[in-house]
Structure 1
Amino acid sequence: MIDIGVNLTHPSLLNNLEQNMIDWQQAGVSNIIAIASNIEESEQLFELVKKFDGIHITLGCHPHHADSWNLDSANRITALHKASTKAVAIGETGLDFNRNYSTQDNQIIAFNEQIQLAKELKSPLYLHERDAEETLINILKSHFSSEVHGILHCFTANKNTLKRYLDLGLYIGITGWVCDERRGQDLQEAIKYIPQDKILIETDSPYLLPRTLRPRPKKNHPKFLPHIATQIANQLNLSDDELIQASRQNTEKLFNLSLNLE
């Protein structure tokens, strides 16, 4: 099983990393993709994966940190990407007009430049979007005449929004949000419309702790991916194994991985 969304630089995961790896591997999660949210985290993950197997990484700048994006940022990401066989995507990038921790103008600048970077490096985009659907889609369409090579990470919206992203050719990442009986109702309906060859599963740990976990832990963890997979499989009328196999195959195809997993 592959968790395609882990915020590994968070202290709750990075501290005592070796034990955390044992915990998620014992739960059946053999591989993870660790997400960078700024240039410093990109450099941190670049060094980290030299020491550990079973971890691949993204490199990029989250819209929350777009105010820190500068002329040198793209050069630093390019150098890291070319120097690491473990770097599999550009991101987490995109737009977040919900919290606006960075100005919308700076988010758009950083997003456009990372799209261009992904195209130059022939790397998929690892996308984030909150309350910015129209702007993000228009920007993607301005850069791609055909399908967008990438994933919409942590999708939480409704089936109408889902269709727009699928029409762009994007893969869709589903988290424990689907376990939320209050906020997750739109998502529970929407995932029924995700083709099996477009779905990927993720925890977004240590965030988005599944509300259906009992006893309730304090923070999310990759070891809870099987719980999320079961919830998704139930919604899709699939067995856990069918969903896990589909997600694995999609992950390997999108990120150009050959993990030789059973």
Structure 2
Amino acid sequence: MKYNGLVDIGVNLTHRRFDEDRADVIGRAADVGVTSMILTGVSVEESRAAVAMAAQYPDAMGATVGIHPHHAAEWTEDSLPVLEALLDATATAAIGETGLDYYRDFSPRSVQRQVFTAQLELAARTGRPAFLHQRDAETDFLAIMQEYRPYLPGAVLHCFTGDQGLLDACLELDLHIGVTGWVTDERRGGALRDCVPAIPAERLMIETDAPFLLPRDLPTKPASRRNEPAFLPHILEAVAELRAEDPDSLGVITATNSRAFFGLDR
């Protein structure tokens, strides 16, 4: 089924897995009604690439600029000035992906916290929303957000995979919630599936996190096992079913939330 005007708030479109057919990926997304995407910056290099790519599609894309916790150890004294300079680009919509990841621990936890707070300070100082990551770091993540959230114009916890307790804490902090294809995985996504109906409509966004997190219950899975924005309608329908809502109406709601949050109509 084709929808109209869906927004995918998390696409790693600069990833090498899209190098051979990126234009086709964008075309397939448009064919099913995904007309806007937010490209994710996860490092200085990828943030530059995301902004440059989004600038090629000014009516359809925006970009985030930031350093993912996996890359926090790459932070140098030049990182902050580079990220701040990227904010001048018209395509830049938010700061991130930034946060904490104690599941992989690819960067020391103390460094993750320092880099996270540095980016939140940048967001607060420049009046930009934050695109957030959290995995197995709830206590520290919530403590840091409690300190900085009052100074941010907005913040979305992307790829939410938590339970009702974490959802309640995030809503108390006035965060938006991004839901991915994790919601289709009955093995790992049970907690998320249980609390999806409790996400306030005005706080809900949807995303693929492509090329990662291919929805587990796709009727026909690509041989490459690569996720892409064309599968966003499948995620929308899964979320709508859990909420007992009409997917068309829910698609309009999530798109409206996303366009307002990322300033896509400016």
Residue 258 in structure 1 maps to residue 265 in structure 2: yes
Tell me if 1:72 matches 2:72.
no
Question: Alpha-carbon deviations, 1:142-190, whole Å to 9, x = none?
Answer: 2244777210000011111100001000000000001001111111111
The alpha-carbon deviation at position 197 of structure 1 amounts to 0.3
Pick aligned residue for 1:57 from 59, 63, 80:
63
1:143 aligns with 2:148: yes
Q: What is the root-mean-square deviation of aligned Cα atoms in Å?
A: 1.3
Question: Which 5+ residue runs of structure 1 have no aligned equivalent?
Answer: none
Structure 1's 52 and 90: CA in aligned 2 closer, same or farther, altered over 3 A? Answer: same
2: CA distance, partners of 1:146 / 1:58: 19
Alpha carbons 1:90, 1:123 under 8 Å: kept: yes
The DSSP-based 3-state class of the residue aligned with 1:98 is coil
1:222 aligns with 2:229: yes
Q: Distance in 1 between matches of 2:144 and 2:17?
A: 35
Per-residue Cα deviation, 1:104-146 (whole angstroms, up to 9, x for no partner): 0110110010000011111101000001111011111122447
- The 3 A distance-change label for structure 1 pair 145 and 50 is closer
Give the Cα separation in 2 of the matches to 1:45 and 1:144. Answer: 25
Match of 1:246 among 253, 258, 261: 253
CA contact (8 A) 2:38 2:64 kept: yes
TM-score (norm 2): 0.94
**Percent pairwise identity:** 38
Match of 1:35 among 20, 26, 40: 40
Alpha carbons 1:4, 1:251 under 8 Å: kept: yes
In structure 2, the partner of 1:176 is 181
Q: Map 1:93-242 onto structure 2 (within 5 A).
A: 93-145=98-150, 149-217=154-222, 218-242=225-249
Paired residues of 1:33 and 1:55 also in contact (CA < 8 A): yes
Aligned pair count reads 258
Q: Distance in 1 between matches of 2:230 and 2:176?
A: 23
Q: CA shift at 1:19, angstroms?
A: 1.4
Contact 1:148 1:168 in 2 (8 A): no
Contact residue 148 and residue 170 of structure 1 kept, 8 A:
no
Runs of 4 or more above 6 Å deviation: none
CA separation in 1, counterparts of 2:151 and 2:62?
27
Deviations 1:86-120 (A, max 9, x none): 11110000000111000001101100100000111
SS of equivalent to 2:8:
strand
Q: CA deviation at 1:50?
A: 2.7
Partners of 2:74 and 2:151 in 1: CA distance: 31
Q: Quote the residue 2:94 is aligned against.
A: 89
Q: Secondary structure at the residue paired with 1:107?
A: helix
After superposition, where does 1:5-20 map in structure 2 within 5 Å?
Answer: 5-20=10-25
Give the gaps of 5 or more residues in structure 2. 1-5
Deviates more, 1:5-14 or 1:244-253: 5-14
Distance in 1, matches of 2:163 and 2:55, equals: 39
Farther-moved stretch of structure 1 (93-102 vs 2-11): 2-11
Task: Check the 8 A contact 1:4/1:34 in 2, yes or no.
Answer: yes
